[in-house]
Amino acid sequence: MPSIIPLPDGGKIVKTNCFECHAKCGVLCEVDKNGTLVGVKGNPDDPRNEGRMCAKGLSAPKILYDPERLRVPLRRIGERGCGQWEEISWDEALDWLVERIQTLTETYGAETIAYGQGTGRGTNQWTKRAGNSGGRVHHSLAPGNICLGPMMVQSMIQFGMLPIYDGCDFDHADCIVFWGCNSMWTEATYTSGQIGRSRDRGAKLIVIDPLFEHPLAAKADHFVGVRPGSDTYLAYAWINVIINERLYDRDFVAHHTNAPMLIIEGSNAPLTEAHVTPGGNKRTMLVWDRKTNGFAPLNERGADEDLEYRGTLTLADGSSVKVKTVWLELKERADAWTPEAASERCWVSPERIRESARTYASAPSATINVFQGVEEQTNCRDTLQLINIIIAITGNLERVGGNLSMPFWNHMMPLGGRDPKTQKELVLVDERASGDLIGTSNPSVVFEAMRTGKPYPVKGYISVQGNPLSWSENTALVKESLMHLDLLVVMDYYLSPTCELADLVLPSAHWTERDYIADEVCCEWVFGQQKAVEPLYERKSDVWFWRTLGHRLNPEWWPWETDEELFDWQLAQTHAGVTWAELKDKWIHQLPRPASRNFEENGFLTQSGRVELYTPVSFFKHRDPLPTASEPKESVYSTPDIAKEYPLTGVTGRRYPIYYHSAYRGIPHLREIVPEPQVIFHTSLAKKLGIERDEWVWIESPTGRITMKARPSDGVDPRVCFIPHGWWQSCPALGLPGYPDGCANANMLTSDRAYNEEFLTPGLRSTLCRIVKKEGE
């Protein structure tokens, strides 16, 4: 059936994909004979959402025709932030912008311009290409350091792929784990059907989350109410149970991970051929071969690798060292974290830890989904590495019903082009964290360079669908930074708080108004996400903007004259085996299977060709190559002095199924469902403070203070509170207010004092804070 279906009355049905969130559900858009979008419903032919739709997707016509949407390019004519604009054409806007970029670049160097976005609406790779094509450094002024970046990079290091996000084979799993994520709300339409079917056939369910109000918590076989940021203790306790009760997949561990690899005790350095043979290769890792009773290279054909070897040997230089396998080192670390020991730190009973670990590891197949609950922590690298180890040692990687590789993720990064040669030299980080695994600038340090000009000036920021006054930690400093810029450009749907400070505001086309390729989070398929209606007013697609601006500035990097040419190139680079015209016509196309699905023949795309429990890249960066049971850099245990004044552990970023981060609080029928920001904390604390439900309260941290309505609950630990993010937009149709100057912005509370060393991640999900009763009105 063609992707455009004519209707008898002159209208049409357009097969496309929703983009009110990352799920990109297949939809049918009904357009009348006048070209008006009159309705959207789910497409039952999409194998993921099967016709299901969420409230956001069903609201597409309301969003498309919302009178508050931006319509034309606006250029500031008064002081920054004064709200005075002039309407200009796109030609004027681009001419002005190109001239400003060239002037700033000639004066300060290309590194003075930062390119960024918000959560991304399918343009992640083009934002990266815009930064890389500048030729000096890509700052990546976008929240990749808190969303997807840590999870993806860590998985690529250990697995050579990303099998966690859309790689969870819920439909065939015998046990499903949601660890610090809530896909039932964030990707509801395709997750819900799979979970429902699996539960109907008896699959077990484990929810690891601090909030019992998680939509699956009450339905779970095990709800594990972990303290925010303490997931490393829980994960090591799971590994303790799995190893000591022999619930691991010994064959997978021995033959498909680097667990048999030998390391030198004390230093944890990998034992290499150069250590034992004069002139040997420094990159050849060694194992103990039981067949020859001697050393052999990892992966040597015919070797019988000893998983549990320990011994003393004389090196080529004559020194004597003790060596052991990675597996023994992992086991020894896990032995320190019995369920009883972990219980004291993660606030979960030993019985719950033990039984949940057994349930997962005993299942014939099991899948773990993780996301920002564990990503947005300063100890996220340890947590992610531990969870990846759990997936691997139980043999649930590339197993039906486990965690599977998906084609898109290994093809995404090359679309952004190679990093500039001066990337490492000019990347902006400081003593708080090097970010050497993620490789981009720390947004906080970029904002600081805007304010101070050190270590060099950042004078320009160009953002598509980005609102750092909502997504970035320590919002007050971010606002001060933006006020120092010579050039601030924002392309968006609405006049966001960041737009209000801009020099140039550009109107972004809604997904119903623009063509694009739906590939990210699309599992094994790619979709022709064609427009349903012609763009209204002067709106343009984000892809059109990046391509057009890029072509003017650097045509060698941006050679495409049309979006269609770019789409054809994109499909060719990702080996989809289809052109844009063909994809648009057929709407859905299945991608080739990743080679790692046949890992016994092909291995994994890692340094060793195996799953890396021990990550050599960490060792060579002078870090521990195995994870530690670590604490967030600010917490009730690591910073007790701060905790005396701010005893609650605050979790920012609580999801709403009707909103997409900070979007759509202006849509009346969505705003009616959750009309005001509410902080969730335990009923016992409310009683102690004399606070009633729906009473406005202060939430305070060492960084700042905001106000929200109180919602006492028994579904949260008395030592924890939940603070939703994204509140700024008003809803004129209902007479409901916006929240100016960050007065209800969760990131006014979050800190820029400490970051994860490898990924530059702040502790957004474990902010120390307190609830204070307001006096008077």
Q: pLDDT digit string (tens) for 40-89?
A: 999 999 999 999 999 999 999 999 999 999 999 999 999 999 999 999 99
List, in order, residues 6 or more apart from 332 with CB less than 8 Å away. Answer: none
Q: At 411, is the pLDDT very low, low, confident or very high (cuts 50, 70, 90)? A: confident
Give the Cβ contact number of residue 279 at 10 Å.
7
**718 lies in a domain?**
yes
Residue 37 pairs in a beta bridge with: 31
Residue 253 burial class via C-beta count within 10 angstroms: exposed 0-12, middle 13-18, buried 19 and up: buried
CATH number, domain of 221, equals 3.40.228.10
Look at residues 314, 329, 344 and tell me which one is the last residue of a structural domain.
329
Quick one: 262 and 365 in the same domain?
A: no
Element (H, E) at 386: helix 380-393
Q: Mean of the per-residue pLDDT values for the chain?
A: 96
Percent of the chain with pLDDT over 90: 92
With a cut of 70, say whether residue 441 has pLDDT above it.
Answer: yes
> Which structure tokens are listed for 260?
């048999």
Query: Quick one: 400 and 416 in the same domain?
Result: no
3-state secondary structure of 342: helix
The 3-class SS string of 29-75 reads: EEECCCCCEEEEEECCCCCCCCCCCCHHHHCHHHHHCCCCCCCCCEE
Q: How far is CA 777 from CA 675, 680, 773, in A?
A: 20, 21, 11
Question: With 80 as the cut, is the pLDDT of residue 694 above it?
Answer: yes
pLDDT, mean of residues 143-151: 93
Residue 655 has pLDDT above 90, yes or no: no
Separation in Å, CA 538 to CA 60, 69, 97, 355, 508: 19, 11, 17, 58, 9
Euclidean distance between the first and the last CA atom of the chain, given in angstroms as a whole number:
61
The tokens 């003017």 sit on which residue? 552
**pLDDT tens for each residue of 228-264:** 999 999 999 999 999 999 999 999 999 999 999 999 9
Q: How far apart are CA 577 and CA 413, in angstroms?
A: 19
Q: What is the pLDDT confidence band of residue 752, given thresholds at 50, 70 and 90?
A: very high
Q: Rounded to an integer, what is the distance from CA 106 to the centroid of its chain? A: 35
How many Cα atoms occupy the beta-carbon half-sphere of 371 within 13 Å? 18
C-alpha span between 697 and 707 (Å, rounded): 6
pTM of the model: 0.97
Structural domain includes residue 559: yes
For residue 520, tell me if it sits in a domain: yes
- In this prediction, residues 156-185 reach a mean pLDDT of 94
Identify whether 91 is part of a domain: yes
Inter-residue contact 391 to 368 (CB < 8 Å): yes
| Chain CA centroid to CA 55, Å | 23
How far apart CA 462 and CA 481 sit, in angstroms, is: 14
Whether 185 shows a pLDDT value over 90: the answer reads no
Render pLDDT for 628-651 as a digit per residue (tens, 0 to 9). Answer: 999 999 999 999 999 999 999 999
Query: Domain limits at 277?
Result: 258-329
> Is residue 147 pLDDT above 80, yes or no?
yes
Residue 119 lies in a domain: yes
CATH number for the domain including 662? Answer: 2.40.40.20
Number of folded domains that form the chain: 4
Contact 451, 478 (CB under 8 A): no
Of 409, 428, 463, the residue that ends a domain is 409
- Which token pair is 722? 């939940």
Is residue 631 in a domain?
no
3-state DSSP call for residue 466?
coil
Question: Does residue 777 have a pLDDT over 70?
Answer: no
Instruction: Point out the domain boundary residue: 363, 385, 409.
Output: 409
pLDDT at 306: 97
pLDDT value for 776 = 66
Q: What is the pLDDT of residue 22?
A: 87
Q: What mean pLDDT is predicted for residues 267-286?
A: 93
What is residue 723's three-state secondary structure? strand
Q: Which pLDDT tens digit goes with each residue over 698-716?
A: 999 999 999 999 999 999 9
Contact 726, 471 (CB under 8 A): no
